[in-house]
Amino acid sequence: MDRERAFELFTSSAAQGFAKAEYELANHYRGRTGRALDLDMASSYLERSARHGYVPAQVDLGFVYFNGSGRTPKDLVRSFHWFKRAADGGAVIAQCMVADFYRQGLGGVERNPREAFRWYRLSATRADRCAAKSQYELYASYASGSGVRKDLPTAMDWLKRAAEAGNPQAQRALSRAYENGAGVPRDPVLARMWLRKSREGVAPHDDHEHEDESKPAHAPRPAHAH
């Protein structure tokens, strides 16, 4: 391992416009190598890498503008621009975020349930940590008929997939379904099991907040944070 030599090579490659090298330098100046912290340089290299088409940089830049900071104001218009480019480039997490923008009409994007459904459907079967979230959103779409024809059996199939994948919101919804016999046979045992699973890792004093998220599938929800 020779970090100094790696830095020299990345710097040389970045000077020639290689997007991955620019991204590595952005991470270097963000302090991720433990050797430097220069947020202005980090931002400059991240922008350059994203503009040169490097998808991971586009994803990061989308979140930079989505969350905002003291250095970079929140800008949902720019956030959507970079998420959309990354989504078109195949980034699954960006596809999830683009779906959220269309579902909620964020950043000046016209609300479009059908387009949101298309992006959630695209990302729901991918091997990515956001897939379970997209699976839950497909359940919500089929259950309410938002962006797709209402289909309760298909909705429940997606809800079960999301719950089994570990999505707490889906686990709570599945618990309520078994408790009330909504779309599945009433089963108090399974209702309690899925409720317990939804609470795993949640501190007792946070449990009321955990439960507050239990809203009908068609209710508007804020975009998820990553």
Domain identity same for 143 and 213: yes
Q: How many CB atoms lie within 10 A of CB 213?
A: 13
Q: For residues 130 and 96, is the Cβ–Cβ distance under 8 A? A: yes
* CATH number of the domain residue 223 falls in: 1.25.40.10
Residue 71 confidence (pLDDT)? 80
Indicate whether 97 belongs to any domain. no
63 or 9, which is more confident: 63
Q: How far is CA 118 from CA 146, 156, 182, in A?
A: 11, 18, 26
Number of domains in the chain: 2
pLDDT at residue 35 greater than cutoff 50: yes
Share of the chain above pLDDT 90, in %: 68
Q: Rounded CA gap, 17 and 103, in Å?
A: 36
Select from 30, 65, 90 the last residue of a domain: 90
Domain identity same for 15 and 75: yes
Domain identity same for 40 and 18: yes
| Residue 199 amino acid letter | R
The mean predicted confidence, pLDDT, of the chain is 86
Select from 46, 63, 90 the last residue of a domain: 90
62 or 225, which is more confident: 62
pLDDT at residue 211 greater than cutoff 50: no
Residue 1 confidence (pLDDT)? 73
pLDDT at residue 183 greater than cutoff 70: yes
Residue 34 confidence (pLDDT)? 66
Q: What is the pLDDT of residues 85-127, one digit of tens each?
A: 999 999 999 999 999 999 999 999 999 999 999 999 999 999 8
Q: Largest Cα–Cα distance in the chain?
A: 64
Q: How far is CA 116 from CA 65, 101, 128, in A?
A: 20, 8, 18
Which range marks the domain in which residue 48 is found?
1-90
Select from 90, 118, 142 the last residue of a domain: 90
